[in-house]
Amino acid sequence: MALALQGGGVHGAYTWGVLDRLLEDGLAVGRVCGVSSGALIAAMLVQGLVKDGAAGARQEMRRLWERVSQANSLNPLQSGPLESWLWGWDVSSDLVWQGVETALRMFSPAQLNPFGHNPLRAVIADVLDRDALTHASAIPLTVAATDVETGASVRWTNAQITVDVLLASCCLPFVFHAVEIDGRAYWDGGYSGNPPLGPLLLPRPPAELVLIRAQPAHRPGAPGTPAEILNRLNEIACHGVLEAELAALPGRVRVSAYDADKVLAELPLSSKFNANPAFLTELFEAGRAAALLAPQAAAK
């Protein structure tokens, strides 16, 4: 069975929940491909399976999100008790978020963050175990990012995956500097494949492909603010690439999907940056609940 994991920022905690439940129920994964937060989860899945099977994979994924939550303690966008009671997990009414949103529209990452600080670097460095990823028993893993100059999807496999590769796969161009690897600049992998499915077809197409989405395919109504419009455009573009790949899959590949619309469609852009422990737990539990339901047949 092949596993495809979408990116979606902090909303990837929903994917974590789906996978946690599926592994608890005996999911057997033969190969996996992921982008952005899906790439981080995929790396934890693979190295955890090497260490202690399904239990190890569940433990490694939890360790990732606990580390993300710890890093969030210094995040000025985190909601306090009053804000959470008033607005739930939407911090878009927070004055700090409004300032950030305005700055993102007016300035480039080079202007806002001249030293290129990325808090994910320390998180990834703490949790990544390259020895486990390259172990003889490790299942094939593919991580993808987007080449800034060509727009092409560039893929790395187990032995090539480093902190920089995972940072590149997660690089939001309006927030962080492009990540340079071997003289090439990279942005988030979702722009060129969310995730790319080609690597999951080699050396031969799998009988089953399971897709876990971390972005809503449908959102009610039309977005109002410039940031929300841009976010929806990004979602549409990322889904468009994936839908084209799904349509081109061989007919003998059975595709099932765990969609995120019910859980994530009402959440605003600001919540993708809100790694509050309680919010992560809510997304995780929603993912576990979704995994109890029969997956949807993905259109091909």
| Positions marked active-site | 36, 188
Q: At 174, list the tokens.
A: 């309006």
Report the alpha-carbon distance of residue 243 to residue 67 in Å, rounded: 33
The Cβ of residue 101 has, within 10 Å, a number of other Cβ atoms equal to 18
Q: In terms of Cα–Cα distance, which of 232, 53, 245, 50 is closest to 140?
A: 50
Enumerate the H helices of the chain as residue ranges: 12-24, 37-72, 81-87, 95-106, 109-112, 120-127, 130-133, 163-169, 226-247, 261-264, 277-291
Spatial CB neighbours of 89, under 8 Å, sequence gap ≥ 6: 79, 267, 271, 274, 276, 279, 282
The H or E element that residue 210 is part of is strand 208-212
Q: In terms of Cα–Cα distance, which of 279, 280, 286, 283 is closest to 88?
A: 279
* Angle of the 277-291 helix axis to the 12-24 helix axis, nearest 10: 50
